[in-house]
Structure 1
């Protein structure tokens, strides 16, 4: 068994690996970050990181078997998640893009409600895929963390997953925030359309 420091480090790498692939939440956070700045996008990453940590904790606690016996529930969750993603995609496509002046003002005085709402939405979207438990169960097994592992070892690994996921979203949101002032208003308009189309495509892919 690895020591807690090594488990924490490997958990961080796992968190980065799980969060990095660009999916619907990544597209959504990029679009929101372009419109409202760092916190507007990073808040979505926080919701995803919390959900990843929840599923990682369930996997470490030995609840992976539940993912195999909740077929009807998984179907409802998948359809619900797809509907929410499609709605967000439509909103992105039809939203008026933030102008450079409005974006600069938002960076100085960010609104609290939209980031908090995005945090909740991304948490629910991530939690709508219970088979994620199986992924973490396989990853933890590779770390030697089978069910019944010492509590301190599981805590270290789960904390690492949360930190790694959060680190990825901080990097992504920070990079987009640095570039957003260089993007013209016309480009923002097309980015909104492309992001909305991508979200709707992800929603369709979930149910076919």
Structure 2
């Protein structure tokens, strides 16, 4: 029972730490909370959480060929991820925030699209696998004495920890959502889109530069 509690607590901590860095997906969730409402943003985070869980499973299963593939194609993957990120940046630039000031649409299709975009944006950065490996090592998440039910509980806890993070972030951002007018939402779209574009440009330039120098 003690070991089960051990892996659950550490699983929740890993899930939160994977999600917490304010990268592209974090800024996209903030933008969607302000423009579309809390739940579309939460489903975006849920898609990211599923992507993180898949990478955690790959790490836990010890699929070394995945790690070898990422190491061998790190620069190419960085370039592809930067291109995907740039696509989201241009998408934000073209968004019209005035259409999102009404009550958010509760259509399951909308939520599904938010979920998929969150998943794709996170999954397009497989380099996070190395961060997960570091967290697993730091928290001693993989121990030989653990049995299958420990790991089922642990990976479930990772997913729940990630969902807890996105639930909390979207809750607090949604609280201040009513203080933003059309111009504020337009400005936020441009700022977040600009940041994403800069991040993608830096990654693309560095990736191409390192790829050419090989």
Q: TM-score, normalised by structure 1?
A: 0.87
Deviations 1:59-109 (A, max 9, x none): 11112563233345444433232212111111212221136xx52322xx4
Check conservation: 1:32, 1:40, Cα contact below 8 A.
yes
* 1:30-49 map, 5 Å: 30-49=30-49
> How far does residue 14 in structure 1 lie from its aligned partner after superposition?
1.4
Q: For residue 162 of structure 2, what is the aligned residue in structure 1?
A: 165
Check conservation: 2:7, 2:141, Cα contact below 8 A.
no
Q: For residue 77 of structure 2, what is the aligned residue in structure 1?
A: 77
The answer to whether the aligner puts 1:114 opposite 2:110 as a matched pair is yes
Bigger shift: residues 35-44 or 151-160: 151-160
Q: Which runs of 5+ in 1 are unaligned?
A: none
Q: For residue 132 of structure 1, what is the aligned residue in structure 2?
A: 128
* 1:140-151 map, 5 Å: 140-146=136-142, 149-151=146-148
Q: For residue 19 of structure 1, what is the aligned residue in structure 2?
A: 19
Q: Post-superposition, which runs of at least 4 consecutive aligned residues in structure 1 deviate over 6 A?
A: none
Deviations 1:154-185 (A, max 9, x none): 22221111111111111111112121111111
Report the CA distance shift for 1:125/1:154 in structure 2 as closer, same or farther (over 3 A). same
The answer to whether the aligner puts 1:59 opposite 2:87 as a matched pair is no
Check conservation: 2:55, 2:129, Cα contact below 8 A.
yes
> How far does residue 137 in structure 1 lie from its aligned partner after superposition?
2.4
Root mean square deviation, CA, Å: 2.2
Report the CA distance shift for 1:147/1:135 in structure 2 as closer, same or farther (over 3 A). farther
Q: TM-score, normalised by structure 2?
A: 0.85
Aligned length: 204
SS at match of 1:98: helix
Report the CA distance shift for 1:103/1:69 in structure 2 as closer, same or farther (over 3 A). same
Q: For residue 212 of structure 2, what is the aligned residue in structure 1?
A: none
Bigger shift: residues 73-82 or 17-26: 73-82
Check conservation: 1:61, 1:147, Cα contact below 8 A.
no
